[in-house]
Amino acid sequence: MNLWICNILESIFLIGLAPLGGMALKKMKARLQNRRGPGFFQSYRDIAKLFSKEPILPNQASWIFRLAPYVIFIVTALAVLIVPVVLIPLPLSAAADVITLVGLLSIARFFTALGAMDTGTAFGGMGSSREMTLSALAEPAMLMGVFVLSMAAQSTDLSTMVAVMLKGNLGLQPSLVFALAAMLIVATAETGRIPVDNPATHLELTMVHEAMILEYSGRYLALIEWANQIKLLLFATLIINLFFPWGIAIEVSGASLLVGVMAWILKLLTLFGLLALMETTMAKMRIFRVPEVLGLAFLLAILGMLTHYILEVSV
């Protein structure tokens, strides 16, 4: 029972913090570019404003267009529930492992694409076609990257994987380096960050995610934006906890939870700092280059598996 309360509180904590996290990243980027950037609570104000506005629906929009934002938000929030954030044991870990997580995220993506195509505009169709092309390449790479860890931990259950990684008797494992590189590439593609997609543009012919949500307004847009911020934080948490799990709480107790939260925030800020640095120094890739990069991520994951077998499992 305690575990359930903790898990739900943890999820609410992450979902509530998601806009702030996105804004922290924006702020870091602004600082690096010699700008002041918006205030830390601007994204909360944006969401509140969008919720109070009347949503405008395109003429041809069907019920799918209206349903999609709710599905996207709920599914993303559910995904938060099955990822350990500051506490390793999860009440849902027996029911939902990392494959479920990938599945949930792909449901969200599927509905984003459906909602975009529903109105029949050129931008929506173009955006969803691109998104689906990229995700067809990103998803296997992500699964493979996670499987490298699963092989080391001999489980696909996220809590077990994090616990094994935390114990750290695995030593120095080169396969994990490959898996980390693959996961970093996939995470930038999946969350639509700069080398793959530019989150800050609205009117650019190469946009992917923004093209899909161009028709949304009011509370629908608020939900999608919020879900997107949650997704960014979710991927960051996943990478942090799988590869650098130091400090995460092992059992429910006040002190260890506090340490867990502090460590999580610290690691998250470090990761966001690196991401901001990367986004500032790199230019957006040509869209036809992206499949190549995602192919590289897939290959890195395969190499991780191979090196795991060749170098780490004693013959």
Partner 1 sequence: MSSELLKQVMSTAAALFLLTSFAMLAQRHMKALLRWLAIQGGLLAVTSALVAFGAEFPELYVSAILALILKGILIPWVLWKIIIHLGVHREVEPLVNIFATLLIGAGLVLFSFYVSLPIAEQSVLLTSNIIAIGLACVLISMLIMITRSKAITMVVGYLAMENALFFMAVSATYGIPLVVEIGVAFDVLIAGLIFSLFFFQIRKTFDSLNLKDMEIKQ
Concatenated DSSP letters of 139-176: HHHHHHHHHHHHHHHT---HHHHHHHHHH-TT-S-HHH
What separation, in Å, do the N-terminal and C-terminal C-alpha atoms of the chain show?
44
Task: Tell whether residue 220 is a contact of partner 1 (CB under 8 A).
Answer: no
Bin 270: left if φ > 0, else alpha if -120 < ψ < 50, else beta. Answer: alpha
Is the Cβ of residue 248 or residue 294 nearer to partner 1 in the bound state? Answer: 294
DSSP 197: -
Interface of this chain with partner 1, residues 78 to 107, rule: CB under 8 A:
none
Q: Which stretch binds partner 1 (CB under 8 A): 21-29, 233-241, 268-276, 303-311?
A: 303-311
Task: Tell whether residue 150 is a contact of partner 1 (CB under 8 A).
Answer: no
Minimum CB–partner distance for residue 299 and partner 1 (Å) = 5
Task: Tell whether residue 312 is a contact of partner 1 (CB under 8 A).
Answer: yes
Centre a 10 Å sphere on the Cβ of residue 292 and count the other Cβ atoms it contains. 11
Minimum CB–partner distance for residue 179 and partner 1 (Å) = 11
Minimum CB–partner distance for residue 220 and partner 1 (Å) = 38
Which of 7, 43, 150, 175 contacts partner 1 by CB under 8 A?
Answer: 175
Structure tokens at 3: 């575990």
Task: Tell whether residue 254 is a contact of partner 1 (CB under 8 A).
Answer: no
Task: Tell whether residue 283 is a contact of partner 1 (CB under 8 A).
Answer: no
Task: Tell whether residue 12 is a contact of partner 1 (CB under 8 A).
Answer: no
Bin 253: left if φ > 0, else alpha if -120 < ψ < 50, else beta. Answer: beta
| Rounded distance between C-alpha atoms, residue 17 and residue 152, angstroms | 32
Could you list the residues that contact partner 1 (CB under 8 A)?
171-175, 177-178, 291-292, 295-296, 299, 302-303, 306-307, 309-312, 314-315
